């Protein structure tokens, strides 16, 4: 059984991924070494296809701001060749593509994104802060009441963003078993094609009935707002809601868990942030940069010849922007491999750049700001409950994180 991600993702040498067991937060040694040798790197695959890996900051922003670079996976000749039309129809039926604007180019992307930006403004997200605070506090209360040890992923990092995105969208959190596992499987690097299709279909069926219920009776949640105020079709509403649900909890959950792990492994930085909580805004940006959880990078496909960083990317070739390498570009950051919670805020690409730059970034920032601040305030003596090398790293997903984080206090 072939793995779905092997078909969809451009294949780069495996040693460039993070799985080399060094410091759990650092990019793979081979990737760091490569980025020291240049900023745009060419890889020829066994079948003759060319994939470029971008490790330079300026070059990454140029790729992500370039309209001739497509986010549509089917613009990759490899995907067109490897995925037969029959398999493609099964993996990406039109109703599954509808609304999934992360894989669309302008003007389709613009049309859908415009309908959502009003819902994700800095102000709207700040207005959510008191509720995020309540959710964070109630989970910490429950952890404290139960007493140590706790699994920070199960008890805090996953449920907090999961509940927040459910409330925002208008999904019943009681249904979390329906979507948490399916979402994780959809992001899994190990899922087979059959598993992918099964999970994508299951999630769509779940979301379809939710959209139908909002069409029948609207509330004041985001999905009801989209039903009421936009001309999105039912399939598009399902696609948009699925994308928000998938993107909205696993990412932030992994940032909260891995971020806490990184702070625990840097006791001086943990103490600094605990004692100077006003550093939180810098600390959140620094953790985003340092951890770069979108560790497999962000891929684009050249629709025409494009020059980037002095090299010509030919039409049909694929470019992967390595978020971890770019966020540690020594030309951009002094001492890039150090975690410094008071580092001045720079222009990291943890949320991407250009038209696809993360729609949920303000929400993620609010969750991390409140989450880390309260965690350190309530549990100032927080520490790992197991030896470091027993923390199970999550390298089986396109987003980097930890499966469990056993902690005590």
Residue ranges binding ligand HEM (CB under 6 A): 71, 101-102, 113, 165, 243-244, 247-248, 251-252, 255, 293-294, 298, 350-352, 356, 358-360, 363-364
Identify which of residues 7 and 291 has a Cβ nearer to ligand HEM in the complex: 291
Main-chain dihedrals φ then ψ at residue 151, nearest 5 degrees: -100, 110
Identify which of residues 21 and 166 has a Cβ nearer to ligand HEM in the complex: 166
Query: Which residues have a Cβ under 8 Å from the Cβ of 33 and sit 6 or more positions away?
Result: none
Cα 58 to Cα 50, 110, 327, 349, distances in angstroms: 21, 24, 11, 11
The least distance separating ligand HEM from the CB of residue 364, rounded to whole angstroms, comes to: 4
The least distance separating ligand HEM from the CB of residue 65, rounded to whole angstroms, comes to: 11
Identify which of residues 11 and 369 has a Cβ nearer to ligand HEM in the complex: 369
The least distance separating ligand HEM from the CB of residue 5, rounded to whole angstroms, comes to: 15
Q: Is 88 exposed, middle or buried (0-12, 13-18, 19+ CB in 10 A)?
A: middle
The least distance separating ligand HEM from the CB of residue 387, rounded to whole angstroms, comes to: 27
Main-chain dihedrals φ then ψ at residue 162, nearest 5 degrees: -65, -45
Main-chain dihedrals φ then ψ at residue 89, nearest 5 degrees: -60, -35
Identify which of residues 111 and 198 has a Cβ nearer to ligand HEM in the complex: 111
Interstrand relation of 311-313 and 318-321 (parallel, antiparallel or unpaired): unpaired
Instruction: Please name the residue ranges forming H helices in 77-230.
Output: 77-82, 85-91, 94-97, 108-117, 122-127, 129-146, 152, 159-169, 176-186, 193-216, 222-229
The least distance separating ligand HEM from the CB of residue 102, rounded to whole angstroms, comes to: 4
Interstrand relation of 306-308 and 311-313 (parallel, antiparallel or unpaired): antiparallel
- Select the residue whose beta carbon is closest to ligand HEM and give its number: 360
Identify which of residues 361 and 408 has a Cβ nearer to ligand HEM in the complex: 361
Identify which of residues 68 and 198 has a Cβ nearer to ligand HEM in the complex: 68
The least distance separating ligand HEM from the CB of residue 289, rounded to whole angstroms, comes to: 10
- Residue matched to tokens 């919670």: 341
């Amino acid at each position: 059984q072939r793995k779905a991600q092997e078909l969809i993702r451009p294949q780069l040498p495996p040693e460039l991924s993070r799985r080399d067991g060094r410091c759990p937060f650092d990019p793979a040694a081979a990737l760091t070494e490569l980025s020291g040798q240049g900023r745009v790197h060419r890889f020829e695959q066994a079948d003759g296809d060319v994939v470029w890996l971008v490790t330079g900051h300026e070059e990454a922003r140029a790729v992500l701001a370039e309209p001739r670079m497509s986010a549509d996976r089917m613009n990759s000749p490899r995907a067109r060749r490897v995925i037969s039309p029959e398999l493609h129809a099964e993996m990406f039926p039109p109703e599954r593509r509808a609304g999934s604007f992360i894989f669309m180019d302008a003007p389709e992307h613009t049309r859908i994104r415009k309908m959502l930006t009003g819902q994700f403004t800095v102000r709207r997200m700040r207005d959510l802060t008191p509720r995020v605070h309540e959710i964070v506090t109630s989970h910490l209360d429950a952890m404290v009441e139960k007493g140590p040890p706790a699994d920070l992923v199960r008890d805090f990092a996953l449920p907090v963003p999961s509940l927040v995105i459910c409330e925002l969208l208008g999904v019943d959190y009681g249904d979390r078993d329906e979507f948490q596992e399916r979402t994780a499987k959809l992001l899994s690097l190990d899922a087979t094609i059959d598993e992918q299709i099964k999970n994508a279909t299951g999630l769509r069926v779940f979301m379809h009935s939710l959209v139908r219920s909002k069409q029948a009776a609207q509330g004041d949640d985001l999905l009801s707002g989209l039903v009421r105020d936009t001309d999105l079709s039912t399939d598009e509403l399902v696609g948009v809601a699925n994308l928000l649900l998938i993107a909205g909890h696993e990412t932030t959950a992994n940032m909260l868990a891995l971020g806490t792990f990184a702070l625990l492994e840097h006791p001086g930085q943990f103490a600094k942030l605990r004692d100077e909580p006003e550093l939180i805004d810098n600390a959140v940006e620094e953790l985003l940069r340092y951890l770069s959880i979108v560790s497999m990078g962000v891929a684009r496909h050249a629709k025409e010849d494009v020059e980037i960083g002095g090299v010509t990317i030919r039409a049909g070739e694929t470019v992967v922007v390595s978020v971890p390498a770019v966020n540690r570009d020594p030309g951009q950051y002094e001492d890039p491999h150090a975690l410094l919670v008071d580092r001045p805020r720079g222009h990291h690409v943890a949320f991407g750049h250009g038209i696809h730059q993360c729609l949920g970034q303000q929400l993620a920032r609010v969750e991390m700001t409140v989450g880390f601040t309260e965690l350190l305030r309530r549990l100032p003596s927080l520490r790992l409950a197991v030896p470091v090398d027993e923390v199970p790293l999550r390298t089986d997903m396109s987003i980097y994180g930890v499966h469990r984080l056993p902690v005590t206090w």
